[in-house]
Amino acid sequence: MAATVSKTSYATPSGRVIELDVPHWPGNLAGQHLDVRLTSEDGYQAARSYSIASVGSGLVELAVDRIPDGEVSPYLTMDIMPGDQLEVRGPLGGWFVWREGATEPVQLIGGGSGVVPLMAMMRQHAAAASAVPFRLLYSARTDDDAFYAKEIDDLAGPALDVTWIYTRKGPGSWTGPIGRLTRETLAAAVIPAAENPAVFVCGPTPFVEAVASWLVELGHDPARVKTERFGGA
Amino acid sequence: MTDGKHVDGNALAGPLSEVFDFDVTSASARCASCGDTTELARAMVYEKPHSFIVRCSHCDAVLMVILQKTDATELDLRGTAWLRAPR
Ligand SMILES: Cc1cc2nc3c(=O)[nH]c(=O)nc-3n(C[C@H](O)[C@H](O)[C@H](O)COP(=O)(O)OP(=O)(O)OC[C@H]3O[C@@H](n4cnc5c(N)ncnc54)[C@H](O)[C@@H]3O)c2cc1C
Ligand SMILES: [Zn+2]
């Protein structure tokens, strides 16, 4: 499918939010992704997956973090402009998704750009005024690097409990700890295993794998912990 | 063999949409080596030029290999003993 870039905005120093106009987009579930395929003049092709931050039909929103020396993300975060065309395929994936009818409490855990599919879930939860308890644990390098920080702060409240983890620097008013997520912080922040939450963990592969194994150590049923690895060493 | 960066079966949704017309990442697959049965989305995926090596998250055996050729997508399913697609 040919998508047209309709709007781009700098969301963080290294990340951009990109809105795409995709003719005949069938709509998507919260948590799905699409594949972007770039073809260079000599015919060389590179395909990468990007989660969809929006839900439903209408414009398709992506949020992309620039990986220095990457093949695709520097192009998406620095070069493309409104009006440009992108070849996309999607919506894709039916496993790492939250469906509105689900009734169990939901724990979202995101690292870096891993918050993108979780954002779609939070937006759908808010749009539906759902009474299902939602909690987010979001680990970002610094407050400037956090995607959707303002929107998440606005959504936080009785319907959405938010815990921030800053690994390098927090906002000016921050009095909490600075540093990587630990098993203890995780245990204190997430919905306890006894409440049988559906857990969605997404982000860089090492982050996802550390969190998933801690969750199991903390008594969470592995079958109820869904993971999505974005890659990275 | 299994060190280096990897992703998981969620990333196969696009490539495998060329072979299956349903979301196969939600399907359960049984590993022919260890018998572990779980959703394909949970498998470990190693991307190589023009191919994906898909490994069992339990025993690391190869579940499937996806080859992306210019004229076709090929699937080697020797490591998968059984597949169950939810309706
Ligand atoms: C299902 C899925 C959904 C995704 N959704 C998003 C999303 O919403 N937003 C987003 O920004 N990215 C997302 N990604 C990651 C994205 O697909 C690319 O891997 C990423 O943009 C890097 O691509 P690249 O071509 O720039 O780098 P490459 O050329 O592929 O890699 C360059 C170097 O960077 C390293 N690297 C690759 N990926 C990462 C990473 N994630 N973190 C750190 N180092 C890395 C590689 O090991 C390599 O050394 C998703 C991945 C998957 C599988
Ligand atoms: Zn196995």
The secondary structure of A151-195 as a DSSP string is: HHHHH-BTTEEEEEEEEEE--TT--S-BS---HHHHHHHSPPGGG
Q: Could you tell me if A224 and A115 lie in one domain? A: yes
Inter-CA distances, A203 with A17, A161, A223, Å: 17, 19, 19
Whether the full predicted model's pTM is greater than 0.90, yes or no, is yes
Domain span at A70: 2-92
Q: Could you tell me if A114 and A43 lie in one domain? A: no
Question: What is the C-alpha separation between A56 and A45, in angstroms, rounded?
Answer: 29
Kindly state whether B58 is in contact with chain A, defined as any CB-CB distance less than 8 angstroms: no
Q: Is A205 in the pocket of ligand 1 (CB under 6 A)?
A: no
Q: Is A116 in the pocket of ligand 1 (CB under 6 A)?
A: yes
Atom of ligand 1 nearest to the CA of B4: 47
> How many independent structural domains does chain A possess?
2
ipTM reported for the complex, 2 dp: 0.96
Q: Could you tell me if A87 and A111 lie in one domain? A: no
Does A101 map to a domain? no
Q: Coil, strand, or helix at residue B39? A: strand
Tokens of B5: 């960066």
Contacts of residue B4, defined as CB under 8 A and 6 or more positions apart, other chains included, come to A233, B46
Question: What is the C-alpha separation between A17 and A38, in angstroms, rounded?
Answer: 18
Here the CATH number for the domain that contains residue A86 is 2.40.30.10
Does A75 map to a domain? yes
Query: Which residue ranges make up each domain of chain B?
Result: 7-81
Give the pLDDT of chain A (233 residues) as one tens digit per residue.
Answer: 999 999 999 999 999 999 999 999 999 999 999 999 999 889 888 999 999 999 988 899 999 999 999 999 999 999 999 999 999 999 999 999 999 999 999 999 999 999 999 999 999 999 999 999 999 999 999 999 999 999 999 999 999 999 999 999 999 999 999 999 999 999 999 999 999 999 999 999 999 999 999 999 999 999 999 999 999 86
Here the CATH number for the domain that contains residue A184 is 3.40.50.80
Q: Could you tell me if A50 and A6 lie in one domain? A: yes
CA angle, residues A112, A224, A147, in degrees to nearest 5:
15
Q: Could you tell me if A112 and A223 lie in one domain? A: yes
